[in-house]
Amino acid sequence: EAVGPTIVAGEILVEIMATERGFGFLEPQTLTGPFPSGAPAIFIDQVGRLGGGAGIIGCVGRDDFGTLNLERLKRDGVDVAAVDISDRFPTGCAFVRYRPDGGRDFVYNIAESAAGQIHLTTAARVLADKAGHLHIMGSTLSIAGLKEIVAYAGKAVRARGGSTSFDPNMRKELIAGADGALFSALVDDADLLLPSGDELLAAAGIDDEQQAVTALFARGVGEIVLKRGADGSSWFGADGARIDCAGFLVEEVDPTGAGDCFGATYLTCRRQGMEPGKALLYANAAGARNVTRRGPMEGVAGFDVLDQFIAGTARRT
């Protein structure tokens, strides 16, 4: 394992959420927030909390929404030197309201916010040049500057003997679109692939779980961890080994951020030399604990908290 922090690039946002379930934002209602958010930010904050070296490439506005994110990331041990501060664009934001059935309605401002201005700055190069691991998220690739950053950082990390992980985090409809070739290349290059649900099948283009796993290893993927929501997760090794981890029984208050906390925890445990089974248990705990807290980043947890959670929480059988 190469030395150097785990790094990620992408949107840093605030999230503002409706306190009551319902449908969207068509009438006045009670909102709560701002909470620090953005999938890459949630991910890297959890890496930092676990004591893993962590850094993020991003852009926020010169406003309170930017400051509250930077303060949180710094507090949790994340290097924010490569977060650009825009004088012109405000920090990105997402309004979310849960529907009675658990679905979500969103109003976003990302593309036209500071987050949409992310590009390969000198500070971003400096961070990439000392990184030991690059985590890539499919959902962020729609930001124009991200492709160049991923290309540069991927090369820099590889040159140092480092590794990469990829969370496809992308709808089937989009994978088939213009970015199909890039998406396939990122899957092929991933030392660790972190799909959730059907993303595994979509990444392989195959409709059977085991066949999809086999096909992905044939393409060069190093290891696969499949997220199954409340049902837990599964690990697949290139040699055909498999470990299943049952989900913890928790009350789901806010599912946003579970996948990012999970992935960050699995990766950080592995980078610290833990075997897959133990890393998977910690990751399951991190994902489950995160859904019990309102606010996407409010459930991030260090090893002490995760140990307590594991000892005190029942699992599905």
Least distance from C-beta 213 to ligand ATP, angstroms? 16
Residue 258 contacts residue 245 (beta carbons within 8 Å)? no
Q: What 3 state SS string does the chain have?
A: CCCCCEEEECCCEEEEEECCCCCCCCCCCCEEEEEEECHHHHHHHHHHHCCCCEEEEEEEECCHHHHHHHHHHHHCCEECCCEEEECCCCCEEEEEEECCCCCEEEEEECCCCHHHHCCCCHHHHHHHHCCCEEEEEHHHHHCCCHHHHHHHHHHHHHHCCCEEEEECCCCHHHHCCCCHHHHHHHHHHCCEECCECCHHHHHHCCCCHHHHHHHHHHCCCCEEEEECHHHCEEEEECCCCEEEECCECCCCCCCCCHHHHHHHHHHHHHHCCCCHHHHHHHHHHHHHHHCCCCCCCCCCCCHHHHHHHHHHCCECC
CB nearer ligand ATP, residue 117 or residue 140: 140
CB-nearer residue toward ligand ATP: 219 or 228 = 228
**Strand 54-61, strand 13-18: pairing:** unpaired
**Cβ at position 137, least distance to ligand ATP in Å:** 10
CA distance 55 to 275: 24
Smaller CB distance to ligand ATP: residue 189 or 254? Answer: 254
CB of 169 to ligand ATP, least distance (A): 6
- 11 versus 260: smaller Cβ distance to ligand ATP: 260
Nearer Cβ to ligand ATP, position 153 or 280?
Answer: 280
CB nearer to ligand ATP: give 97 or 227: 227
Least distance between ligand ATP and beta carbon 130 (Å): 28
In terms of CB distance, is 60 or 264 closer to ligand ATP? 264
Is residue 129 within 8 Å of 152, Cβ to Cβ? no
Confirm if 194 and 205 have CB atoms less than 8 A apart: no
Interface with ligand ATP (CB under 6 A): 196, 227-230, 232-233, 247-248, 250, 252, 255-260, 262, 284, 287-288, 291
CB nearer to ligand ATP: pick between 83 and 286: 286
